[in-house]
Amino acid sequence: MGRKSPFKITLLLAAAGVTVVALATMLSLLWGSTPALKAFGWKFFFQKEWNPAMDRFGALPFLIGTLLTSFLALLLSLPLSLSISLLLGEYLKGGKLSSFIRSMVDLIAAVPSVIYGFWGLEVLVPAVREMEMKMDIVPYGVGIFTASLILSVMIIPNTASLAREVIQLVPRDLKEAAYSLGATRYEVIKKVVVPYARSGIIAGILLSLGRALGETMAVTMVIGNSSEIPKSLFSPANTMASVIANEFTEATGDLYYSSLIAVGLLLFVITTLFGILGRYVIKKTSIEGGK
Amino acid sequence: MKGIKLRIFKDRLFRSAVYALSLLSLTPLFLILLYIFKRGLRVINWEFLTRLPRPVGVENGGIANAIVGTLILVFLASLLSIPPGIWAGIYLAENKNSKLAEAGRTAVDVLQGTPSIVVGIIAYLWIVKPMGRFSALAGGVALAIMMLPVVVRSTEEVVKLIPPYLKEAAFALGASYPKTILRVVLPAALPGIVSGVLLAVSRVAGETAPLLFTAFGNQFMNYNILKPVNALPLVIFNYAMSPYEEWKRLAWGASVVLILLVLAGNLISRTVVKKWKVRF
């Protein structure tokens, strides 16, 4: 390439800078969690006791809380987001209604998470409490179930937009071939569209999951903040993100503080892994687009 | 072959299910917006927007300091992230196959996937801890880390779309590389970049988690970036979690202001793309 001009060097420096920020993020988390990892070893991530008063810390309750809320949210939101993507990618391809629905889906993603949390706290929590009273279980109102409900709404756009894009990419001749054999639209969707778009849908699900795992405010406000391992789907809990949000500014003592950073490290590693997996699936099927 | 009637029935059933579930997925959005506007709109008046918060028990506090704080934070974040972000994006688009571009792209992916609360920890470790106190600067850095990948990505994508003949034409006229980038490529890419930046801005304006232990919040008006500031999302969070009805009322008002801000950002971003888009 030869000698580089000063101008090109500034471009290069900017790109290097972005890389350095990402690297520094990782290293800072590792460095910050060193005291905790030294004190507890790798068992920190599977220890079930989180007791600041006794200076004993383990991330297991939050790991479980995070996985439960995220997967439950995913389960609840899948039928919704897949319907939206089929509607926009197959049934209603153009027109005013279609673009209106699309901008509404974008809007779901644009509403700040603290507002979802506030609404959840004021509307959803009392509703869930009432339901729990009818079901004759302890009526906390807050808890994993409530957090999953809110989350399931918030992650609709991620799956919906990616899945819509791949559904639109299904070649016309494939669908037309199926129609000409006498298939109904439902059969075309089931036997041609979905199998063809499967990997894109999976990628969208992985991205949604990444969003759900890291979501902080809405979950923090409705999950009830309990550091015990949740006994049921209706009990209060904490996710990795919510325990950091709640306790970071109050953390007294280096070990407490470092343990919270270690929880952050774990969260970072998990979301990054899901992100890499999602992008790998996208790349492998060479689907452009998505976020 | 199953009976045709059954197959048609299934087809109709499936279509109805798709329509019904799609409607169902948009319902919460409408419910939330409706509820917020119903509760919040009547709180908003001139005093609400221009007064400072008041202690519990005293009515008619305002959120002036939070609005100013959010503006300061967003300004700082933009200053820190937009210039390097655009520059890095140009590099990534111009050197598609270099090793650094590969690394840069991975870095952008990693940063984009980093949960906002983790970004808060990072800004805490980088700024708050060395300085010994919470500050607007730390909040700005946190938001900048969130904006950076979005700016880089949208710049890269727009610059990639610029047809090579534009650049070749500039070179053929004897323009130097910097001149070509600054006078041909960048102006052509500008609408796309602006729209990406606006989206990023309106997204971080609503972020709470990265501010919890960086900007921290402040009951008073503050213009000093080395001291803690309040922000709209922080006000909503703190007041929403408080047991006082009066504070909750204010939080609804603040929610409406925040949502309008975010929506305006989104809307302007869309119009920019439509109106200015350079067609090739």
Range of the domain at A162: 54-284
In this complex, is the C-beta atom of B22 within 8 Å of any C-beta atom belonging to chain A? yes
Distance CA A156, CA A112 (A): 14
CATH number, residue A84: 1.10.3720.10
CA distance B115 to chain A (A): 5
Give the residue from A291, A5, A20 showing the smallest Cα distance to B84.
A20
Provide the pLDDT for residue B92. 95
Q: Does B102 touch chain A (CB under 8 A)?
A: no
Mean pLDDT by 10 residues, chain A (291 residues): 78 95 96 94 91 91 96 96 94 89 92 96 94 90 95 93 89 94 94 90 90 94 92 93 94 91 96 90 62 33
Chain B environment of A264 (Cβ under 8 Å): 117-118, 121
Nearest Cβ partner of B15 from A84, A91, A291? A91
Residue A37 lies in a domain: no
Q: Does A241 touch chain B (CB under 8 A)?
A: yes
Q: Is the pLDDT of residue B190 over 70?
A: yes
Chain B residues inside the 8 Å CB shell of A256: none
CB pair distance less than 8 Å for A248 and B85: no
Q: Which of B100, B240, B241 sits opposite A15 (nearest CB)?
A: B100
Residue A282: the pLDDT is: 80
Domain covering B48-276 in this structure, CATH number = 1.10.3720.10
Instruction: Measure Cα distances from A236 to A94, B18, B26 in Å.
Output: 44, 33, 27
Half-sphere exposure of A19 (CA within 13 A, CB side): 16
Nearest-angstrom CA–CA distance, B144 and B227: 18
Q: Which helix H or strand E contains B245, and what residues bound it?
A: helix B245-276
Give the whole-angstrom CA distance, residue B134 versus residue B21. 45
Domain ranges of chain B: 4-43, 48-276
Nearest to A59 by CA among A219, A242, A217, A260: A260
Q: Is residue A39 part of a domain?
A: no
| Short-list B38, B21, B236, CA closest to A111 | B236
Q: What is the pLDDT of residues B69-127, one digit of tens each?
A: 999 999 999 999 999 999 999 999 999 889 999 999 999 999 999 999 999 999 999 99
Predicted pLDDT of residue A291: 33
pLDDT interval class at B266 (50, 70, 90): confident
* Residue A46: inside a domain: no
Half-sphere exposure of B119 (CA within 13 A, CB side): 30
Partner-chain contact B113 A185, CB within 8 Å: no
Over the Cα atoms of chain A, what is R_g? 23
Q: Considering the domain boundaries, does residue A32 fall inside one?
A: no
Q: What's the predicted TM-score (pTM) here? A: 0.93
The mean per-residue pLDDT over the stretch B39-50 comes to 91
The answer as to whether A65 is a domain residue is yes
Q: What is the DSSP letter of A132?
A: H
On whether any CB of chain A is under 8 Å from the CB of B88, the answer is: yes
pLDDT tens, residue by residue, B3-27: 899 999 999 999 999 999 999 999 9
Number of domains into which chain A is organized: 1
Judge whether A22 is closer than 8 Å to chain B, CB to CB. yes
Which candidate from B87, B116, B241 shows the least CB-CB separation from A221? B241
Q: Exposed, middle or buried by CB within 10 Å (0-12, 13-18, 19+), for B187?
A: exposed
Residue B223 C-alpha, separation from nearest chain A C-alpha, in angstroms: 23
Q: Supply the pLDDT for residue B20.
A: 96
Residues 199-218 in B contacting A (C-alpha not used; CB under 8 Å)? 202-203, 205-209, 212-213, 216
pLDDT at A240: 96
What dihedral do alpha carbons A31, A36, A37, A39 form, nearest 10°? Answer: 130
Judged by a CB distance cut-off of 8 A, whether residue B105 touches chain A is: no
A275 is a domain residue: yes
Residue-level pLDDT at A289: 41
Which of A170, A161, A172, A160 minimizes the C-alpha distance to A193?
A170
User: What average pLDDT does this structure show over B224-249?
Assistant: 92
Q: Which of residues 28-67 of B touch A (CB under 8 A)?
A: 28-29, 31-33, 35-36
Mean pLDDT, chain B, integer:
92
Contact B240/A121 with Cβ under 8 angstroms?
yes
Indicate if the pLDDT at residue B279 is higher than 90.
Answer: no
